[in-house]
């Protein structure tokens, strides 16, 4: 199949996916999942904090027992290591909950605005600059685009599949190399 036909079909499909209505729905679904997770993790936070305080009390008692010589040092060290590992795990889980809280508190309207603006930039680039569009697609695609032959005779064609990584679009990472290339013009800056 000719490259220009494949390019046109793929770029057209991606442009369709990046329409504001589709993006808004995707962002709203993602934010709804975050809100649901956040509401269920609030009670979990209190439980984790309680467990962390219990672990700290156990650690304090074990250190006191070691200092007082009440139990054999080897037995205390083993129990200390177990409790320290548990403390580390609990602290990591609390940090995850903190991150969830930070993400869930972002300005939704601003996120949508930025996302739609970047999607608009992508669709404009896809429509005008094939070379830069290919570079951007390499960054936005999670993996390769799969082409599958379908039909026969005059009805023969291809079906293609691929997954976009929205995170790179939101963060602006997809634009980094493309902007540098389009500003410079060519490989030697001409």
Distance CA 106, CA 46 (A): 22
136: how many CB neighbours lie within 10 A of its CB?
A: 25
- pTM for this entry: 0.45
Residue 25's pLDDT is what?
80
Among left, alpha and beta (phi > 0; psi -120 to 50; other), residue 165 is beta
The pLDDT tens digits along the chain (190 residues) read 677 777 777 777 777 777 777 777 877 787 777 777 767 777 788 899 999 999 999 999 988 888 888 788 888 889 999 999 999 999 999 998 887 767 656 666 777 777 777 777 777 777 776 677 777 777 777 888 888 888 888 888 878 888 877 666 666 665 555 544 433 333 333 3
Residue 173's pLDDT is what?
64
Among left, alpha and beta (phi > 0; psi -120 to 50; other), residue 43 is alpha
Residue 190's pLDDT is what?
30
Residue 91's pLDDT is what?
95
Residue 49's pLDDT is what?
93
Residue 82's pLDDT is what?
94
The DSSP element (H or E) to which 80 belongs, if any, is helix 73-104
Residue 163's pLDDT is what?
81
The DSSP element (H or E) to which 84 belongs, if any, is helix 73-104
Residue 170's pLDDT is what?
61
């Amino acid at each position: 199949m000719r490259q220009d036909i494949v390019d046109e079909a793929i770029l057209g499909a991606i442009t369709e996916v990046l329409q504001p209505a589709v993006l808004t729905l995707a962002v709203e679904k993602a934010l709804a999942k975050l809100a649901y997770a956040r509401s269920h993790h609030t009670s979990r936070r209190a439980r984790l904090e309680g467990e962390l305080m219990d672990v700290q009390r156990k650690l304090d008692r074990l250190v006191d027992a070691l200092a007082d010589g009440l139990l054999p040092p080897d037995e205390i060290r083993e129990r200390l290591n177990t409790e320290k590992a548990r403390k580390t795990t609990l602290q990591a889980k609390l940090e995850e909950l903190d991150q969830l809280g930070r993400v869930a508190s972002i300005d939704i309207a601003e996120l949508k605005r930025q996302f739609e603006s970047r999607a608009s930039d992508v669709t404009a680039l896809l429509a005008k600059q094939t070379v830069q569009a290919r570079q951007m697609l390499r960054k936005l695609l999670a993996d390769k685009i799969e082409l599958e032959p379908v039909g026969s005779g005059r009805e023969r064609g291809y079906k293609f599949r691929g997954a976009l990584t929205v995170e790179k679009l939101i963060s602006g990472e997809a634009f980094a190399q493309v902007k540098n290339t389009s500003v410079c013009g060519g490989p030697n800056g001409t």
